[in-house]
């Protein structure tokens, strides 16, 4: 099966990054979100990224960037956005009920040969597929932030995901020039279980006053050669995303995974990181 057109649902940090990645690899994209304002912001951010990271560095001409941008069609109605697509990737909030209902809706609306993928960080693909009839076509395609840059895709095979679906997801990921790993459907998979646990521990250290924000980050960057410290990284991912991952891991694996109270406090104050211009650091 050849994938030509991709629908991406959710145009936040990940949805817009995935749209940028997929469109620069030659796929037409239908990008969906709840409002025109969100979609406009997403397209603006893709336009800025194409200019800054490709055109300004002579990796792409202005015309090529324009064509890529024009290949991303923004829309609000899911029914319209799923027409003529071969693959749908959902990147809505990390919420099991929302994602399960969305999968069931997509499953009831789409022809059987369309692949339905979730970019969830942590949630069970099998549970998310539980209300859908054609569970064999549902798979986890886990991208990393920033999606155009990070070299890995973690594929998750749910209880009923078919080998054929997994293979299509693998071929698609490779066409995006990503390295693929295949992981069982376990909470947080390999990557989020590890990165969340490390960042949550660093946030607990910050809460204990063990060291300053900067020193915690510098310690990790210089001791382990990490590109970002755990607090900077938490701001990049979003404190709300970590809160959802932590609550889910705690429910599935036990309370040692509970988010630090500082995560809860920051989410309550809307200090979500880069997306709200304030987290452990300030942005503008």
> Binding of ligand NAD at residue 120 (CB under 6 A)?
yes
Q: Name the CA radius of gyration of the chain, rounded.
A: 19
The minimum distance between CB 104 and ligand NAD, in angstroms, equals 12
> Nearest to residue 72, comparing CAs of 43, 92, 50?
43
Residue closer to ligand CAA by CB (options 126, 191) is: 191
* Binding partner of 92, given ligand CAA, ligand NAD, none, CB within 5-8 angstroms per partner class: ligand NAD
* Binding partner of 104, given ligand CAA, ligand NAD, none, CB within 5-8 angstroms per partner class: none
Three-state DSSP at 17 gives helix
CA distance 29 to 69: 10
Cis peptide before 3 (omega within 30 of 0): no
The minimum distance between CB 221 and ligand CAA, in angstroms, equals 10
> Binding of ligand NAD at residue 14 (CB under 6 A)?
yes
> Binding of ligand NAD at residue 237 (CB under 6 A)?
yes
Q: At 89, give phi and psi (nearest 5°).
A: -115, 120
Residue spans of beta strands (DSSP E) within the chain: 5-9, 28-32, 72-75, 87-90, 115-118, 138-142, 152-157, 179-184
> Binding of ligand NAD at residue 275 (CB under 6 A)?
yes
Residue closer to ligand CAA by CB (options 1, 228) is: 228
Q: What number of CA atoms fall less than 13 Å from residue 164's CA on the CB side? A: 9
CA distance 40 to 255: 40
145 within 8 A of 237, measured Cβ to Cβ: yes
273 within 8 A of 279, measured Cβ to Cβ: yes
Site map for ligand NAD, 64-103, x if CB under 6 A?
---------------------------xxxx---x---x-
* Binding partner of 81, given ligand CAA, ligand NAD, none, CB within 5-8 angstroms per partner class: none
Q: Which stretch binds ligand NAD (CB under 6 A): 125-133, 138-146, 171-179, 198-206?
A: 138-146
Q: Hey, which residues does 273 pair with through a beta bridge? A: 278
Helices (H) and strands (E) counted in the chain, each on its own, are 12, 8
Q: Which of 1, 4, 26, 34 binds ligand NAD (CB under 6 A)?
A: 34
32 within 8 A of 9, measured Cβ to Cβ: yes
* Binding partner of 233, given ligand NAD, ligand CAA, none, CB within 5-8 angstroms per partner class: ligand CAA
The minimum distance between CB 228 and ligand NAD, in angstroms, equals 12
Residues in the chain: 284
The minimum distance between CB 2 and ligand NAD, in angstroms, equals 26
> Binding of ligand NAD at residue 243 (CB under 6 A)?
no
* Binding partner of 150, given ligand NAD, ligand CAA, none, CB within 5-8 angstroms per partner class: ligand CAA
Which DSSP symbol is given to 259?
A: P
Residues that bind ligand NAD (CB under 6 A): 9-15, 32-34, 38, 91-94, 98, 102, 119-121, 143-145, 237-238, 241, 275
């Amino acid at each position: 099966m050849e994938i030509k057109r991709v629908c991406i649902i959710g145009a936040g940090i990940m949805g817009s990054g995935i749209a940028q990645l997929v469109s620069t690899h030659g796929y037409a994209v239908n990008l969906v979100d709840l409002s025109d304002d969100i979609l406009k912001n997403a397209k603006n951010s893709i336009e800025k990224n194409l200019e800054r990271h490709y055109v300004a560095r002579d990796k792409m001409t202005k015309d090529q960037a324009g064509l890529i941008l024009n290949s991303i069609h923004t829309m609000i109605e899911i029914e319209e956005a799923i027409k003529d697509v071969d693959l749908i990737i959902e990147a809505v909030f990390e919420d099991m009920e929302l994602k399960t209902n969305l999968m069931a809706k997509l499953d009831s609306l789409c022809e059987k040969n369309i692949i339905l993928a979730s970019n969830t960080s942590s949630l069970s693909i099998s549970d998310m597929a539980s209300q859908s009839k054609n569970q064999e076509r549902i798979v986890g395609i886990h991208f990393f932030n920033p999606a155009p840059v990070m070299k890995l895709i973690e594929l998750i095979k749910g209880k009923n995901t078919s080998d054929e679906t997994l293979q299509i997801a693998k071929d698609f990921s490779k066409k995006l020039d990503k390295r693929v790993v295949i992981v069982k459907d376990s909470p947080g998979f390999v990557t989020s279980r590890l990165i969340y646990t490390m960042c949550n521990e660093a946030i607990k250290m910050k809460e204990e006053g063990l060291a300053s924000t900067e020193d915690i980050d510098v310690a990790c960057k210089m001791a382990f050669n990490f590109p970002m410290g755990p607090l900077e990284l938490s701001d990049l991912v979003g404190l709300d995303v970590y809160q959802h991952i932590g609550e889910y891991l705690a429910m599935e694996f036990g309370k040692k995974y509970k988010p630090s109270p500082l995560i809860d406090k920051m989410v309550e104050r809307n200090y979500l990181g880069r997306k709200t211009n304030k987290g452990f650091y300030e942005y503008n």
